[in-house]
A and B are shown apart, each in its own frame.
Chain A
Amino acid sequence: MRNVRIWFKKDYECRYISHLDLNRTMLRALHKSKLPIWHTEGFNPHPFATFPLPLSLGFRGINECMDVKLEDDSFDIRTIPDRLNSCLPRGIRVFDATEVIMKAGKVAYASFTIRVSADRLSSSVVTAQLRDLLGRESIEIEKKSKKGMKTVDIKQGIRSYELKEMLDFAQLDIILSAGSSDNINPQLIISALQRENGVEYDVDITRNDLLNSELELFR
């Protein structure tokens, strides 16, 4: 048995499907591809795949990954992208399959590019609003948790950011805490911005990379 990490992009139409739907789509593609993937045992055997860090509905992902186990240790993993791509919708494109270097639990940060605009505001105004928000000591927001609503300070989860004023949007490149313990969804920043300014923003969020606690690329 050999662990393999499959790398893919999730964009276009497939941006709009949830993690559960992505999972289903991937399992069907793995099944169709007839790759020698290990299947779960039991009543309904299905290909076994896990995702180190699920991606929210609506986000683009350009360096996403999924872990599977290969039953055939000598299988040439370089053939995986082509085999899978012919079984996937066009919005999901596999571009690499690699050995698993870091355990899934090592994900500590994720980097995002967020484009923000609003119908009636110029990009310089939106940029200024973002700069104001992100410059504060703390950014508190109500977050739903299992034990009801709780207040979290998302400022603590911002590792670094860069803000650029573009022609018709503000661009925020940001690194946020990610993983099972202190995950910050970038959507929370937009919610805070909306609450501050009472404006409905149009946002386009791309997740670029997953990183470990040393800010090294997750591999």
Chain B
Amino acid sequence: MVSKKVEKLLLKVQKPGRYVGGELNEVIKDKRNVDVRFAFCFPDTYEVGMSHLGMKILYSRFNLVDYIWCERVFAPWIDMEKLMRENQIPLYALESGDPVSDFDFIGFTLQYELSYTNMLNMLRLSNVPIYSRDRTELKNIVVAGGPCACNPEPIADFVDIFFIGEGEEVDLEVMEVFRECKAEGVGKAEFLERCAKIEGVYVPALYEVSYNDDGTIAAFTPKGDAPAVIHKRLMKNMDESYYPDNFVVPLVEIVHDRAVQEIFRGCIRGCRFCQAGFIYRPVREKSPEVINEQCKKLCMNTGYDEVSLSSLSSSDYSQIVPLLEKLTSWCGEEKVSISLPSLRVDGFTDEIMNKIKTVRKSGLTFAPEAGSQRMRDVINKNVRHEELMQTCATAFAGGWTTVKLYFMIGLPTETMDDVADIAHLGQDVVETYYQTPNRAKGKSVRVTISVSSFVPKPFTPFQWEPQDTIPTLHEKQAHIKESITSERVTYNKKLTYNYHDADTSFLEAVFARGDRKLSKVMALACERDFHFDGWNDCFSLQKWLDIFEECGIDPAFYANRRRSFDEILPWDHIDYGVSKQFLIKECQKAYNSTTTPHCRLKCSGCGAAQYGEGVCFEKRQNMV
């Protein structure tokens, strides 16, 4: 619902459909009949935010509770933001059209570090003070969750409560406490203290940090009763876990415009650069029966004719073929197609291919991540060169002609030869196409190699590693290009090479492993109208470097410094169920190019078995 004032602006901006709400299945309640109003803010555009599964799950879950009304808020694109500022229109929620400052909770999901400035900007557009300490009343409680909450420290001064781990239960527990406090007339400080007792809740204001002379952390001390370590929350039984049978169906096209069905959480693989592979442990699957039923309902209620099976690595679902059989038994009749993203190189079999082939033949995407076998062993990717070629041959024989390959540069121990091998691998795939006898006739192949820069992340075995400096990354990017043109020239046009900007990766590395000293940098960035740093339209590294300099902070301290195993890391007080000892062991194995088998082959003793559920307690095939 939009006000008359907003309506006047809508015809002056691009894609006004993202600012109006009114979609099929949006939840409208009477605000007089609810006790808690929750503004669910996604710090990016409507099209990006509406594609996010976590938001869909929590939106529906919250709204199931009678006394809660959860509404959606997205970051207005720069044209709309400008007009809103000029016309003194504060940020509003799509369902009611009410200003965000009216809400009890202002919740952010933090999916990537470069959205931090959007979070602060959205608070500012709402006329809500950005610093937690400046919001003194029991209202506008700013909460945040999502993967970036695993190192909350760079934004600890702004957020009242972080949710650590999966939010389905803990968020509701906090809202219940809020409702009690409101009824009792209790203030914000007392509310926060009560919340800190809930498992999975981190209240940064209840901790003090002291630093050594070299800038590293000396001590991290809880005040009062606050727990010394905050343990993550997780859903133990995925079959019984809440899943929406309905999505808000956008009026305008969004990034992932289809039904999404979650099939499991976590990943068995343990690729050493991958944060998701560690923080979502242990792997917990839904049964094929439950998935099938949820899928059906979702398609019926939304009208989507495409459903995507979502997980970190779809082909690792233990019953993938039976599941696809179940789904295809009705999908054809109902004219619903299935898409299976996040396929592993070694998971693309004939059987799977034939099941998803009834779907459109868009390009296939695989992520070998590194060019040389040595490098893939270092990162524990556990994909062999022959497997990749075999998979590509299977795809080419099945009629595919477009393959996209994702890689990373700047990985620990990487040499220029490893980098050149990225180019060689791309060329090998092109050659495989022409060696595949039953490939699509008369068609050319298109292989794209897409290269991003490695960002060391908390809770991974590489959390102590320095990131390559920007000049080194540029050198490596250029080296790939040279390696393509110098050899096997005939394949040039079939091979496309692109790479991600190293500047943004650098900033990402600073925030990912930053500490509380960065909050003044963030605040200054907010004051200077920074927003949409994840978008090339807006990002400027130079402007950031200026701010770092003004604040007397060296960003290289966070991004490019090798940390020692005994340093107190800014996120050490947070527990994701994976032990530091395990991460150290994995890091040392990486240096020796030793791989670790995945969870279904052998337990590596990471610590996630403490939850008593999931893959840790599956019967292993080699033990039967």
Binding site for B on A (CB under 8 A): 12-14, 16-18, 20-21, 24-25, 28-29, 31-33, 39, 43-46, 57-58, 87-91, 202-203
Contact = CB atoms under 8 A, between A and B. Distances in A.
A28 B305 CA distance: 7
Interface string B275-311: 0000000000000000000000000111111000000
Contact of A43 (B21, B253, B300, B360): B360
16 contacts: A14-B22, A17-B252, A18-B252, A21-B252, A21-B253, A24-B253, A25-B249, A29-B24, A39-B335, A44-B305, A46-B305, A58-B16, A89-B22, A89-B23, A89-B24, A203-B11
A16 B303 contact: no
Given A16-B16, A45-B335, A28 B22 contact: no
Given A28-B304, A88-B24, A17 B360 contact: no
A34 B496 CA distance: 43
Interface class of chain B by DSSP = loop
Contact of B8 (A14, A28, A32, A202): A202
B300 A32 contact: yes
B303 A29 contact: yes
A13 B302 contact: no
A13 B16 CA distance: 9
B17 interface: yes
Main secondary structure of the interface of A (DSSP, over half): mixed
A18 B23 CA distance: 14
**Number of contact residues on B: which range applies?**
20 to 34
Contacts of B361: 43
Contacts of B301: 32
A50 B24 CA distance: 22
B337 interface: yes
Interface in B1-30: 2, 8, 10-11, 16-17, 19-24
Given A14-B22, A87-B24, A89-B251, A32 B335 contact: no
A25 B251 contact: yes
Contacts of B253: 20-21, 24
A91 B26 CA distance: 13
A44 B24 contact: no
Q: Which of A13, A17, A29 has the most CB of B within 10 A?
A: A13
A202 B301 CA distance: 38
Q: For the complex of A and B, list the 9 residue pairs with the smallest distance between their C-beta atoms, beginning with the closest.
A: A13-B22, A32-B303, A28-B303, A16-B16, A13-B20, A17-B17, A89-B24, A17-B251, A16-B17
Given A18-B17, A28-B305, A87-B24, A44 B360 contact: yes
Contact of B22 (A29, A39, A87, A90): A90
Nearest to A200: B12
Contacts of A17: 17, 251-252
Contacts of A58: 10-11, 16
B20 A16 contact: yes
A28 B337 contact: no
A156 B557 CA distance: 70
Given A45-B335, A46-B305, A89-B22, A16 B360 contact: no
Interface string B242-262: 000000010111000100000
A13 B2 contact: yes
Contacts of B22: 12-14, 89-91
A165 to B, nearest CB: 21
A21 B8 contact: no
Contacts of B303: 28-29, 31-33, 87
A45 B331 CA distance: 12
Contacts of A13: 2, 17, 20-23, 251
B337 A44 contact: yes
B295 to A, nearest CB: 15
A14 B1 CA distance: 11
Contacts of B24: 29, 87-89
B302 to A, nearest CB: 7
Contacts of B304: 28, 31
Contacts of B16: 16, 57-58
B83 to A, nearest CB: 12
A21 B335 CA distance: 20
B331 to A, nearest CB: 12
A14 B21 CA distance: 9
**Which of B2, B22, B300, B360 has the largest number of chain A CB atoms within 10 A?**
B22
Nearest to A22: B251
Contacts of A25: 249, 251
Given A16-B10, A87-B303, A89-B23, A31 B17 contact: no
B360 A21 contact: no
A33 B301 CA distance: 10
A43 B362 CA distance: 12
Nearest to B22: A13
A64 B300 CA distance: 26
A213 to B, nearest CB: 31
A64 B163 CA distance: 48
B305 A31 contact: yes
